[in-house]
Structure 1
Amino acid sequence: MTKPLARVLALLEILQVGGTRTLRELSERLDVDERTVRRYVDHLLDLDVPVESVRGRYGGYRLAPGYRMPPLMLTDDEAVVVLLGLVGTRRAALQPDTVLAVESATAKLRRVLPRALAGRLDALVAATSYASEGRSPTIPETGVLLTVAEAAVRRRPLAITYRDKNDRSTERVLEPYRVVALRGRWYATGLDSSSGEVRSFRLDRVARAVVQEGQFPVPDGFDPAAHVLEAVSGASYRYAISVRVQGSERAVQRRMPGSIARIEPAGEEPGWVRVRWRAERLDWVPSVLAGLDLPFVIEEPDELRERVRVRALAARLASWAEAP
């Protein structure tokens, strides 16, 4: 797109925000002289865009009241933000009218976007799993997110540059099975060439992602959300903790810090759920169990029972409550 045409479209975008814009303001924002701004306005008028000239001390240019420009001009970043907002609203919506409105808005958004971008956004929705409820995800670099999502849908390997938590960069090939949103972050999970294992990578740490030739299979029954949740919850930690809790999954989710655990029905006992997570130390676990405010039974590890950590915490709480 040539610069003059890009600036004409930029002028239209400024005017679509609403209100009257002075000639001086438009000149500064477009980085051109005032005569050029008038020429750009003439271009819009030639395209039947109703730009009105307002005279007077506070005069300038504005769009005619009620005018709506049919094409929707969004950058890739803006389109991703809008789409994710609609998807998030659709997942949280309880009323049929809200669901219908979201679906209608999504369809309209897709119709007015360029075909290439619409296809990439479709791939993003198709490739994404949500591991748990929570705050809206933080979006990584848009190009990386869309590239990984497309590769996951088409089952194409990716050459990526990944920066670890110590800010060390490595080059590797990833076969992305899915994209997963979890607790405000985005992950790609799949087979990693460096380790030969299925791993999860934070997409905000991916500096480069380039699609490679070839295709790969996805293992049958693979659960991307569960895999990422387990990895983020500390699969390499020393202790595997399992506790049966009397209550619903939702009640336990509200009380577990940061969705650190996997919560599933305890099939042998209706009304109970099993909570599993991993920890490097056990000293903080009793306070978490106390915070559940629900009856529970410790299944493992034995150290959590043998050292009477929970009873010791209960005794301290009782003594503090009785103190003057």
Structure 2
Amino acid sequence: MSRPVGRVLTLLELLQSGGTRTVAELADRLGVDGRTVRRYVDQLIDLDVPVESVRGRYGGYRLAPGTALPPLMFSDDEALAVLLGLVAGRRAGLTPDGTAGETAAAKIRRVLPVRIARRLDVVLDSLAFTDEPGAFPAPDAEVLLALADAVRHRRAVALRYTDRKGQRGDRTLHPYGIVAHAGRWYVTGKDPEIDEYRTFRLDRITSARPLAGGSYEVPDGFDAADRVLTGFATAAYRYEVTLRIQGTVEQVRARLPASVARLEECAPGDDEGDRGGEGDEGDEGEGRGGRESWLRAELRAQSLDWLPPVLASLDRPFVIEGPEELRGLVAEFAERLASFARSA
């Protein structure tokens, strides 16, 4: 593609983005002078692209409202970005419909010039993924769109939902936000009937119907992603574990992320006062990641076997407040490590 033709297409893309563009702005973006911009505009008009001239101090050029624009045209980088996004989204479970992602990618590849298509094939053939496509069930596209509309316009929705035990039921929700996490989609908000926060997996929702009535308010500072992660950390499991760990928030979070444990700054115990300074009264550890202090970690687990090696990898002083069974497992793990060292 010759440089003048490429600049004309770039001019069209700039005008397609909406609004009025001044001659000076277009000349700067295209790297040409004002006279050349006017010549490029004339070429677009000759191709029946309805470019309008706007007079006045803030005048320039724009496309006529309601214009049926020519087909999309992608540069090499744009085509690569779109295709990689579709492939990665399908692999990560972030596209509501795997078939739609595949057909969209196929349509884009079908209209690409051979040279670009071959280069993209080389990239895609060189990629390796650590998980299989479709590892998680994808949400229904209509459900996702209905919930997104409800979040934006603060409308209550009636959900038809299947829980982890396979039991179906109806729920009413004031949706506050939609979260994509670890290959799954979630909607979180408040159930107005019981006045409690609830989080639902989108792939378990079979229908989402907006309800008539007034809107609702989202609490100030509400963080949908934080609510979902906190829900994981506080879900009902077999064991409730409480630890006191000396270190910074960053050190602890490296092994116990927010989806696993809740953290708060705490005072050292009677036997720990000489090992670390007490934090300012009332301060929370989450906001003081750069200073070392004693932190209380609370988490729930179905099994305790994974915790001893995690605590060892922290390489920080810690105290197990409960359960008692975890103390025994940590002692056994420490003895195994010591025996391995002695045998070496």
TM-score, normalised via structure 2 length: 0.48
**Distance change (3 Å), C-alpha of 1:205 and 1:143:** same
- C-alpha distance in 2 between matches for 1:213 and 1:311: 59
User: What's the CA shift for 1:267?
Assistant: 4.2
**Distance change (3 Å), C-alpha of 1:188 and 1:242:** farther
1:288 matched to 2:287: no
User: What's the CA shift for 1:273?
Assistant: 7.8
What's the counterpart of residue 226 of structure 2? Answer: 226
Partner letter of residue 312 of structure 1?
E
What's the counterpart of residue 247 of structure 2? Answer: 246
User: What's the CA shift for 1:318?
Assistant: 0.8
**Structure (1 or 2) with the larger CA radius of gyration:** 2
Answer yes or no: is the 8 Å Cα contact 1:177–1:224 preserved in 2. Answer: yes
**Distance change (3 Å), C-alpha of 1:147 and 1:177:** same
User: What's the CA shift for 1:147?
Assistant: 1.2
- C-alpha distance in 1 between matches for 2:164 and 2:236: 16
What's the counterpart of residue 201 of structure 2? Answer: 202
Q: 1:310 aligns with which of 317, 323, 330?
A: 330
- C-alpha distance in 1 between matches for 2:329 and 2:143: 46
Answer yes or no: is the 8 Å Cα contact 2:151–2:175 preserved in 1. Answer: yes
Answer yes or no: is the 8 Å Cα contact 2:230–2:259 preserved in 1. Answer: no
- C-alpha distance in 2 between matches for 1:188 and 1:297: 36
User: What's the CA shift for 1:189?
Assistant: 0.9
Q: How does 1:130-149 map to 2 (within 5 A)?
A: 139-149=138-148
Gaps of 5+ in 2: 1-46, 49-69, 75-81, 93-134, 264-284
What's the counterpart of residue 172 of structure 2? Answer: 173
Partner letter of residue 216 of structure 1?
Y
Deviations 1:128-157 (A, max 9, x none): xxxxxxxx9975222211211110121100
**Distance change (3 Å), C-alpha of 1:259 and 1:229:** closer
- C-alpha distance in 1 between matches for 2:230 and 2:291: 25
- C-alpha distance in 1 between matches for 2:258 and 2:252: 12
Partner letter of residue 319 of structure 2?
I
- C-alpha distance in 2 between matches for 1:208 and 1:288: 41
Answer yes or no: is the 8 Å Cα contact 1:151–1:157 preserved in 2. Answer: yes
Deviations 1:145-197 (A, max 9, x none): 12111101211001111011122211121111111222221111112256542
Q: How does 1:24-173 map to 2 (within 5 A)?
A: 69-70=71-72, 139-173=138-172
**Distance change (3 Å), C-alpha of 1:243 and 1:225:** farther
* CA RMSD between the two structures: 4.0
- The farther-off stretch of 174-183 and 197-206 is 174-183
Answer yes or no: is the 8 Å Cα contact 1:162–1:169 preserved in 2. Answer: yes
User: What's the CA shift for 1:209?
Assistant: 0.6
SS in 1 for 2:188: strand
SS in 2 for 1:166: coil
What's the counterpart of residue 101 of structure 1? Answer: none
What's the counterpart of residue 271 of structure 2? Answer: none
What's the counterpart of residue 190 of structure 1? Answer: 189
**Distance change (3 Å), C-alpha of 1:248 and 1:137:** farther
What's the counterpart of residue 100 of structure 2? Answer: none
- C-alpha distance in 2 between matches for 1:150 and 1:226: 21
Deviations 1:23-76 (A, max 9, x none): xxxxxxxxxxxxxxxxxxxxxxxx99xxxxxxxxxxxxxxxxxxx72389xxxx
- C-alpha distance in 2 between matches for 1:317 and 1:153: 54
- C-alpha distance in 2 between matches for 1:157 and 1:283: 42
Aligned pair count reads 200
TM-score, normalised via structure 1 length: 0.50
Deviations 1:274-293 (A, max 9, x none): 44422245444222212x24
**Distance change (3 Å), C-alpha of 1:252 and 1:181:** farther
